[in-house]
Amino acid sequence: MLSSAATSITVILIVFFLFIEGAGVFTKKPIDDGFLLAVSVDNQVKKIKPSEIKDIYDQKITNWKQLGGKDLPIVLFRAGDITDYYTEEELGKNFEFFPDKINELIAKTPGIIAFFSDKYKAKDFKGRELDIDKIKVSEFLSGEEWFPTAQPIAQMGVKPLIYGTLWVSLGAILLALPIGLAAAIYLSEIAKKRTRSLLKPLIELLAAIPSVVYGFFGLVIIVPLIQSTFDLPVGETGLAGSVVLAIMALPTIITISEDAMRNTPRAMKEASLALGASKWQTIYKIVIPYSASGITAGAILGIGRAIGETMAVLMVTGNAAVIPHTLLEPVRTIPATIAAELGEAPNGGLHYEALFALGCILFIITFGINMLVELVTNRNSHKKH
């Protein structure tokens, strides 16, 4: 009895652990533990968004005027830059004067923004420490940049990853759906029983090939092919991911839509044929409309598979965390991001938790897709009775 609850317990445990770890990202500030950002007390800019801090350190914002402050050039300062201002003797043998010197520097440089460890923060600190807000859920979802290890402020915007995932998956389904439907029609309506019993297991075998093998195949065959066909600098693109995912989604789409088509009542088909319709007319006027919800379910499940697929996508899409404009650019999907980055993220840190939050998003999407399929197929079974 307990074992029959095993799957339910597992689902609940997955939800629990995923969300506990993932929620951690929203309780932390996107700045490394024990570090602080400080400006001069005279600085009028009160709040700076994480993305703006990144722009400052990338020197895209160079004047406080741009942030609503005084017309004053921004002076960037990282702890390592201290030697540009003071000699080693002035700092002391063990950097014992470091805090004082930073204090001095901030006091005399009105345009400064300084990033340093708080062990160098003097007791009578003369600068103003910037308030860094915790990461908000809305920022996490709508942020356009994913640089989880950026300094001084980690950029945790999942938008490019969500876009990447959707682009690649939709591309895959656009490729796979017509092909899969054609095969399903052939198997259920045209093929002889013998042919069908020969072809179907072979097509299902496509589902058995491990995803890492698809990734490898994509890497050595499809990626170079795309690179030369479209004359691209790199072949690792969203399109390569879509092609590989389309192949992987085919068995799902074919099996489910074929099942649905074979459920079309014989009497319906025969009535259509008796009225003088050709076999093809019967298929597209009777069989396809009748099995529409089954076909939809197949397509949705196919998308679900594609969204969650990790290894194959990781190996062929190039993994650039930028919002893609065409499928011919490198993209990065949510699962690929988790797979690529979790190994380097320190346990329990902000980056680690952000990746778990990505896992939550992925889980919610696929869970929703499963529910949707359930809904669609339930409607179908009502129709039958």
Partner 1 sequence: MSQQSSLAKKKRRNQNIAFGIFTFTSYAIVALLFVILAFIVIKGIGVISWEFITEMPKNGMTEGGIFPAIVGTLCLVLVSMVFAFPVGVLAAIYMNEYVKDGWIKKIIKQMTNNLAGVPSIVFGLFGMSLFVNKMGFGDSILAGGLTLGLLVLPIVIRTTEESLKAVDDTFRQASYGLGASKWETTSKIVFPIAFPNIITGLILSVGRVSGETAPILFTVAAYFLPKLPTSIFDQAMALPYHLYVISTSGTNIEASRAMAYGTALVLIIIVLISNLLANALRKYYGNKVKTN
Of 303-342, binders to partner 1 (CB under 8 A) are 304, 307-311, 315, 335, 338-339, 342
Q: Which of residues 225-254 bind partner 1 (CB under 8 A)?
A: 247, 250, 254
- DSSP, collapsed to helix, strand or coil, labels residue 39 as strand
Q: Which of 209, 234, 273, 322 binds partner 1 (CB under 8 A)?
A: 209
Q: Which of residues 73-112 bind partner 1 (CB under 8 A)?
A: none
Binding range to partner 1, per CB under 8 A, among 33-41, 64-72, 88-96, 199-207: 199-207
CB of 227 to partner 1, least distance (A): 16
CB-count burial class (<10 Å; 0-12, 13-18, 19+) for 128: middle
Any contact of residue 185 with partner 1 (CB under 8 A)?
Answer: yes
Any contact of residue 3 with partner 1 (CB under 8 A)?
Answer: yes
Any contact of residue 137 with partner 1 (CB under 8 A)?
Answer: no
- For residue 90, what are the CA distances in angstroms to 95, 182, 303, 327? 9, 78, 63, 56
Contact 159, 141 (CB under 8 A): yes
Which is closer to partner 1, CB of 205 or CB of 271?
Answer: 205
Q: Which of 279, 285, 326, 375 binds partner 1 (CB under 8 A)?
A: 279
Which is closer to partner 1, CB of 77 or CB of 356?
Answer: 356
Which is closer to partner 1, CB of 106 or CB of 357?
Answer: 357
**How far apart (Å, rounded) are the C-alpha atoms in residues 10 and 5?**
8
Contact 276, 177 (CB under 8 A): no
Q: Which of 34, 201, 233, 346 binds partner 1 (CB under 8 A)?
A: 201
Which is closer to partner 1, CB of 309 or CB of 329?
Answer: 309
As beta bridge partners, residue 35 has: 117
Any contact of residue 298 with partner 1 (CB under 8 A)?
Answer: no
Any contact of residue 156 with partner 1 (CB under 8 A)?
Answer: no
Which residue is listed with tokens 């065959």? 221
As beta bridge partners, residue 73 has: 63
Around 299, how many Cα atoms within 13 Å sit in the side-chain half-sphere?
A: 17
Helix axis angle for 238-262 and 193-208, nearest 10°, is: 140
Any contact of residue 187 with partner 1 (CB under 8 A)?
Answer: yes
Which residue is listed with tokens 């800019």? 45
Tell me the number of residues near partner 1 by CB under 8 A.
Answer: 73
CB of 223 to partner 1, least distance (A): 11
CB of 266 to partner 1, least distance (A): 20
Contact 208, 255 (CB under 8 A): no
Q: Which of 13, 41, 174, 375 binds partner 1 (CB under 8 A)?
A: 13
Q: Kindly report whether the peptide bond that precedes residue 50 is cis, defined as omega within 30 degrees of 0.
A: no
Contact 241, 173 (CB under 8 A): no
Binding range to partner 1, per CB under 8 A, among 35-43, 128-136, 290-298, 355-363: 355-363
H or E element that contains 141? helix 137-142
Q: Which of 7, 59, 87, 138 binds partner 1 (CB under 8 A)?
A: 7
Which is closer to partner 1, CB of 138 or CB of 278?
Answer: 278
Residue 45, phi-psi category: left (phi > 0), alpha (psi -120 to 50), beta (remainder): beta
Computed over its alpha carbons, how large is the radius of gyration of the chain?
Answer: 28
CB of 269 to partner 1, least distance (A): 15
Any contact of residue 182 with partner 1 (CB under 8 A)?
Answer: yes
**How far apart (Å, rounded) are the C-alpha atoms in residues 221 and 211?**
15
Any contact of residue 199 with partner 1 (CB under 8 A)?
Answer: yes
